[in-house]
């Protein structure tokens, strides 16, 4: 867990902002910002977790590499470098389109992974987390402040009582695919003033990780599978546009100008980060420790997804 807390501190560098009360007004002369975000360079290696060292390795191992490892790739990159699930937002907009009816974000624990990996919430808004798996999860959410990381919430994530309670048998666990919703856990995302990044991890399964931003205005978008985004009804003016991903080491910034009833287009190329990005980066020839035997690893069968490094 200390590695995750260190990562929080790293990604928060340069993320601070000043809070005020956002005012909703009619935007009659608003413009639109559209664009694409691409990752320029080699996609970083994924994280790697030896499933034998963690609970529920048979069920969770349905998604694994065939050698007993679960991979977590924080960089969702498509064809031609399309950088997906990146947050694009405008800062310091005090007045504009409606923000009061934003839906409550929902994060699901499904197949021992948090979906989606990136979430955007309104500051001081609830987020709902639901367990769809036949195993227990424990959600631990953190933000950082001037005094260091702070716990936002830490609660068990109960499973649906209709799930079978014993999936230790290899064949039963490997074939079980039902996703039944457990009791929804509604938690408030209340950030320290000037902070907006939070991260959630399962206390049982370290490879279950989800990141989010708490926003103070509705002028944001997540890039789609083609790396595209669109933000509409923007009051005319000049703004700072920021692009955020948890492992870019802060935000990438650019100044943009929005003209009345016009469309501004932008193409952003983000240099791929280099060097080691996380403590548990997957290596080319993963080593075995803790006395893990070939027989123990042979019980972990990727029946749902065979992951590729």
Mean residue pLDDT of the chain comes to 87
Number of structural domains found in the chain: 1
At 27-70, the pLDDT tens digits run: 999 999 999 999 999 999 999 999 998 999 999 999 999 989 99
Parallel/antiparallel/unpaired status of strands 148-157 and 137-145: antiparallel
Cα distance between residue 55 and residue 68, in whole Å = 13
pLDDT classification of 79: cutoffs 50, 70, 90: confident
Spell out the residues 6+ positions from residue 14 whose beta carbon is closer than 8 angstroms to its own.
Answer: 250, 251
Identify the pLDDT of residue 106. Answer: 94
At 106-156, the pLDDT tens digits run: 999 999 999 999 999 888 888 999 999 999 999 999 986 656 778 888 999
Q: For residue 129, what are its two tokens?
A: 């987390």
pLDDT classification of 3: cutoffs 50, 70, 90: very low
At 191-237, the pLDDT tens digits run: 777 788 899 999 999 999 999 998 989 999 999 999 999 999 999 99
Q: Are 48 and 282 in contact (CB under 8 A)?
A: yes
Please give the residue range of the domain that contains residue 249.
Answer: 2-306
Tell me phi and psi for residue 80, to 5 degrees: 60, 25
Which H or E element spans position 175? helix 170-175
Spell out the residues 6+ positions from residue 116 whose beta carbon is closer than 8 angstroms to its own.
Answer: 85, 107, 210
Identify the pLDDT of residue 150. Answer: 85
At 168-199, the pLDDT tens digits run: 677 788 888 889 999 999 988 887 777 888 99
Identify the pLDDT of residue 124. Answer: 83
pLDDT of 2 higher than 50: no
pLDDT classification of 251: cutoffs 50, 70, 90: confident
Cα distance between residue 55 and residue 51, in whole Å = 8
pTM of the model: 0.86
Identify the pLDDT of residue 17. Answer: 44
Q: For residue 299, what are its two tokens?
A: 């019980």
Identify the pLDDT of residue 14. Answer: 44
CA dihedral 140, 190, 182, 110 (to 10 degrees): -60
């Amino acid at each position: 867990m200390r590695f995750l807390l260190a990562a929080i501190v790293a990604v928060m560098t340069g993320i601070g902002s000043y809070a005020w009360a956002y005012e909703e007004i009619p935007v009659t002369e608003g413009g639109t910002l559209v664009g694409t975000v691409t990752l320029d360079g080699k996609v970083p290696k994924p994280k790697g977790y030896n499933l034998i060292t963690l609970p529920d390795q048979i069920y969770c191992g349905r998604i694994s590499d065939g050698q007993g490892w679960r991979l977590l790739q924080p960089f969702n990159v498509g064809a031609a470098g399309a950088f997906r699930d990146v947050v694009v937002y405008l800062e310091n907009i005090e007045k504009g389109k409606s923000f009061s009816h934003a839906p409550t974000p929902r994060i699901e624990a499904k197949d021992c992974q948090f979906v989606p990996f990136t979430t955007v919430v309104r500051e001081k808004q609830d987020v709902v987390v639901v367990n769809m798996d036949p195993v227990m999860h424990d959600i631990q959410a953190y933000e950082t402040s001037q005094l260091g990381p702070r716990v936002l919430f830490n609660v068990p994530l109960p499973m649906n009582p209709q799930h079978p309670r014993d999936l230790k048998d290899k064949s039963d666990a490997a074939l079980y695919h039902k996703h039944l919703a457990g009791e929804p856990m509604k938690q408030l995302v209340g950030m320290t003033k000037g902070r907006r990044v939070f991260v959630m991890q399962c206390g049982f399964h370290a490879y279950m990780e989800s990141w989010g931003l708490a926003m103070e205005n509705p002028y944001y978008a997540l890039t789609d599978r083609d790396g595209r985004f669109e933000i509409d009804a923007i009051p005319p003016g000049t703004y700072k546009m920021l692009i955020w991903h948890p492992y870019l080491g802060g935000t990438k910034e650019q100044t943009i100008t929005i003209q009345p009833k016009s469309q501004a287009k932008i193409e952003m190329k983000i240099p791929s980060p280099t060097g080691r990005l996380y403590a548990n980066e997957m290596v080319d020839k993963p080593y075995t420790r803790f006395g893990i035997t070939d027989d123990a690893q042979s019980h972990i069968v990727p029946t749902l997804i065979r992951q590729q490094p």
